[in-house]
Every structure is written in structure tokens, then in C-alpha cells.
Amino acid sequence: MSVGTELLSDAGRSGIQIFTGEVIWSPGSISDGNEAVVDVTVTGANMGDFVLVSSGVDIKDVSLVGQVTAAGVVTIQIGNWTGGSITPTAASTYYVMVLTKG
């Protein structure tokens, strides 16, 4: 897991910053209608900031979302609404980018 890093101190608007983090995660089997979650440390992230999440592999038709759940913490959620149980690809790196509200 890597700690968030400031990439830009001004993205064209005063006060906007971009921070990143990543985690290697193997969520295991997720039954239909359920989710799996993992927390990622992203120093500088605050409640209400914008979050982008990506995976290094195909996540097999499930949803992938992220949100700041506490100062410096982004929670990644994989949701399964496929109609059956699914196991996303074994251990993969999940990447997080946080854009501050400015």
C-alpha cells in the first residue's frame, strides 16, 4: 500500500490538489447483491473530495466505486449485481485518485 502523494498543487483552479494511493487486494468470492470493501490510505483526502478508482485487471462485470470515508482514508467497494456469485481476478492492484474540492 502506498501513501497518497500530491501530484499537482494547482490544476487550473485555486486550491485543487490531486492525491493518489494504491492497494494490492484479492476480494474473494462475492455473492449476488453483496459487496467487498478495502480501505486505502490517501494522505490529504477529506470527506466530500472526488474519488476515481481503477483496477489493473478486468473486474468481471461488477461495479467499482470509491469514497473518502474518513480523513486520509478512501474505501474501495466492489459490488456484485450480476445475478450470481462471482470471484474477481485474484490479487490485483487497485488505484485511487482523489481530487480535492478546492
The residue assigned the cell 453483496 is 34
Domain ranges of the chain: 18-99
Q: What confidence score (pLDDT) does residue 14 get?
A: 61
Mean pLDDT of the chain: 87
Q: Is the pLDDT of residue 10 over 80?
A: no
Compute the average pLDDT of residues 71-85: 95
The pLDDT of residue 1: 41
Q: Looking at residues 13-24, what average pLDDT do you find?
A: 87
Q: Class for domain 18-99, per CATH?
A: mainly beta
Question: Which of residues 67 and 7 earns the better pLDDT score?
Answer: 67
| Per-residue confidence band for 2, with pLDDT thresholds at 50, 70 and 90 | very low
Tell me: the pLDDT tens digits for 42-70?
999 999 999 999 998 888 788 999 999 99
Q: What helix, strand, coil percent values describe the chain, rounded to 5?
A: 0, 45, 55
Q: Are 19 and 29 in contact (CB under 8 A)?
A: no
